[in-house]
Amino acid sequence: MTRPLITEARPEIVVATMQRPQGTIGVDTHVQTFVKHLPSVSRPVTLVTPFSSSSPLVRPVFGVRKALSLFDSSAGVGWYHRWHEHYLRDALQDVLTRPSEQVVYAQCPYAAAAALTAGTAPVVMAVHFHESQSEDFVVQGELRRDHKVFREIRAFEEQVIPRVHGIVYVSDFTRQTLEHRMPHLAAIPHQVTHLCVDPIERTPRPRDGELIMVGGLEPRKNHSYLLKIVAAAAAMGRTYRLTVVGGGTEKERLEAEARDLGIDGHVRFTGRVPDSRALMARHQLYVHTATMENFGVALLEAMAEGLPVLAAPVGGSREVFREGIDGEYWPLDDSQEAARILIALMNDESRRATMANSAVQRAAEFSIAAQSGKLLDFLDHIAAVNAGGECAMGTPGESTRPRRERGL
């Protein structure tokens, strides 16, 4: 870890995340964009992950999760939280040495807990989930609601979240659902700051692809339904080429389903790709069938690349694109009607072009330049209010638990 210099009395922002330094999900995109941007506005920042720990046991311990998940994926989730928090706290102890000059921007409740117990700097937690992280793991197929880990995650959140110094919600949807579950959170300083994507200067290339969807091959993304829409369009005489970007355990099943539907020759599963936005830029229309989105970074990335969007108005996606302007809504329970909406838009090149221009302009409203000032002001405010180094989980200047020794 490279430690920055503190300048102009502004606090160092310590970004704490349970994720790897580089990743492909929405949390990763947010962290990478924010951390990359801060030096350009002369803000000191340090990124800390469990992999920042100097313990030689980090990777072997993390590797156990794969073995556990073969027998019980829910137990694997519990192992992940326990040990990623442990080593994140271990790494943060080396960083959080000047509480009056630092503020922690934690990306989940477990990262927040690690920060609250590793030092006395104020902690602001980002809420990337709706209601509970336990529900996100359920819809991803990794956790069962009848498993004790499900209950443990919810109890942990109810203990930790009320003790943070501030909350950043990535959409108003996440705020509403979490405050519905825990109404007392409304009393904690908070704000909604949407996730960001930046425009990328590219050499214009032909849009030789037609439809594209980006997202992990997991139940929540609802790829099976998308295949049914493409098959329904083919039955109506309109055959479209679909590119599906993302890795996951459902790939073989989805490939078999495409064969059964008779569209396997028109569907390409790429797996994970290093630059999905560059691939988006080669397509004409972004299609999305997820049953839930806490925000919808993939939608926003597609819009930044000049693609109109077809998606359902679920969760935070309604805060991303505007129906009839940047794209269209389609149903998640009627593949025939969804196919008719798809065909109508693909047949109207002029309308797609107008929507594409609007989508680019809309995406610019979510650029890091447009959003970062609001977020930085909030982090600075929380740091100023807590400049004395008061720890929300205990008495001023004290952690609530003794620091653990490194390792197990």
- pLDDT at res. 388: 52
Same structural domain, 225 and 332: yes
* Whether residue 351 sits in one domain with residue 374: no
Identify whether 131 is part of a domain. Answer: yes
The verdict on 98 and 35 lying in the same domain is: yes
Residues 374 and 242 reside in one and the same domain: no
Residue 153 and residue 175 share a domain: yes
Write out residues in the chain with pLDDT < 70, as ranges: 1-9, 22-24, 388-408
Instruction: Report yes or no on 160 lying in a domain.
Output: yes
Give the end-to-end CA distance of the chain in Å, rounded to a whole number. Answer: 22
Q: Are 53 and 114 part of one and the same domain?
A: yes
pLDDT of residue 406: 33
Residues 236 and 290 in one domain: yes
Residues 319 and 334 both lie in one domain: yes
pLDDT of residue 195: 86
**Count of domains forming the chain:** 2
Residues 73 and 217 in one domain: no
Asked if residue 404 belongs to a domain, the reply is no
Contacts of 60 (CB under 8 A, 6+ apart): none
Residue that is written with structure tokens 């439809």 in the block: 211
Domain range for 137 is 12-196+367-385
With contact defined as beta carbons under 8 Å apart, do 103 and 379 qualify? yes
The two structure tokens encoding residue 323: 């129906």
As a whole number of angstroms, the distance between CA 40 and CA 269 comes to 37
Domain check: are 262 and 303 in the same one?
yes
Q: Is residue 403 part of a domain?
A: no
Looking at the domain assignment, is residue 91 inside a domain?
yes
Structural domain contains residue 4: no
Whether residue 99 sits in one domain with residue 29: yes
Q: Give the pLDDT of residue 24.
A: 60
Residues 175 and 313 in one domain: no
- Domain presence at residue 79: yes
Nearest to 126 by CA among 249, 250, 28: 28
Question: Would you say residue 398 lies in a domain?
Answer: no
Domain with residue 328: its CATH number is: 3.40.50.2000
